[in-house]
Amino acid sequence: MDEIYLNGKFVSRSSAQISIMDRGFLFGDGVYELIPVYNKKIFLLHKHLNRLKNSLSLIGMSDISGIEDIIKKFISRNSNDHFFIYLHVTRGEQSQRNHIYKEAMEPTILIMCEEYPSYNKDQIQKGFHACMHEDFRWLKSNIKSISLLGNVMLKNHASKHGYYETLLIRNNKLTEGSASNVFMVKDNIIHTPKLSNELLPGVTRDLLIDLLKDNNMIINESDISQDDLLSSDEVWCSSSTNAVVPITMVDENQIGSGKVGSTSLLIYDITRDFIKNY
């Protein structure tokens, strides 16, 4: 859809304008959400809005009143069944470029629709390859910040080398992927890094943990070392664009049998059904 929402107005992408003095443009001073819409229904909207509120609070901004109604009004104008809502909030425009922001600024609010490829079952069954890299990003990765240069560099490192994702290691601990959370399976127990300032509290991560528990699987939120990861039986990445993406190789290392494992396929199917029935 060409139409976007910007600061109270519905306008076309090409005619939308923001000030060069916007702190989002000058400092990357803002936060965002990416929210799936399946069969015209907004998926887990309240979880995304809670995370937005938390990200805003962590950067000293107030919650955006009426945002739910704005999003609903915006998507009612889109005739597609499946798409993603990109919601971007910056601290707003300031007359001079200054690291120090004014209190009570008027935020800039942008909402637009995006489309991302969703992998089909054949692609999921084949699995994907990932690489590993030191996590050199800042220590507030729990904020869904629009300052994504570190993530952009790390995701491009993967794609330039033909990998789906870069898995990030800091102090010999897995944090997350450059644009996803990570799960691994060892001896039928599922592990994912526990929440901290070093990773994003993924909405899909949260959903998968609930679905795994509902299906009587054991899930352990704890530290995962590089060796743990490489000696695991299965690995998958999770995100709102593709809920479960099985990883069968990490750099030169085969994960488990080198084929997509049964737990990955099971959680893929469970999640796909949950989405279908949502």
Q: Does 179 bind ligand PLP (CB under 6 A)?
A: yes
Question: Is there a catalytic annotation at residue 155?
Answer: no
Residues 6+ apart with CB under 8 A from 152: none
Q: Hey, which bits of 107-212 come out as E strands?
A: 108-114, 128-134, 165-170, 173-177, 181-186, 189-192
Binding track, positions 147-176, relative to ligand PLP; x by CB under 6 A: ----x------------------------x
Stretch that binds ligand PLP, among 53-61, 65-73, 198-206, 246-254 (CB under 6 A): 198-206
Q: Which residue has the tokens 């084929």?
A: 259
Give whichever of 6 and 35 is closer to ligand PLP, judged by the CB atom. Answer: 35
Give whichever of 94 and 111 is closer to ligand PLP, judged by the CB atom. Answer: 111
Q: What angle do CA 161, 163, 164 make, to 5 degrees?
A: 145
Question: Smallest distance, Å, CB 208 to ligand PLP?
Answer: 9
Give whichever of 29 and 176 is closer to ligand PLP, judged by the CB atom. Answer: 176
CB 193 within 8 A of CB 203: no
Question: Smallest distance, Å, CB 143 to ligand PLP?
Answer: 11
Residue 93, beta-bridge partner list: 22
Q: Considering the candidates 40, 72, 126, 144, report the single residue annotated as catalytic.
A: 144
Residue from 240, 248, 263, 264 touching ligand PLP (CB under 6 A): that is 240
Q: Does 255 bind ligand PLP (CB under 6 A)?
A: no
Give whichever of 193 and 261 is closer to ligand PLP, judged by the CB atom. Answer: 193
Q: Rg of the chain over CA atoms, in angstroms?
A: 19
CA separation for the pair 146, 27 (Å, rounded): 10
Helices vs. strands in the chain: H and E counts, helices first: 8, 15
Interface with ligand PLP (CB under 6 A): 34, 151, 176, 179-181, 200, 202-205, 238-240
Residues tagged active-site: 144
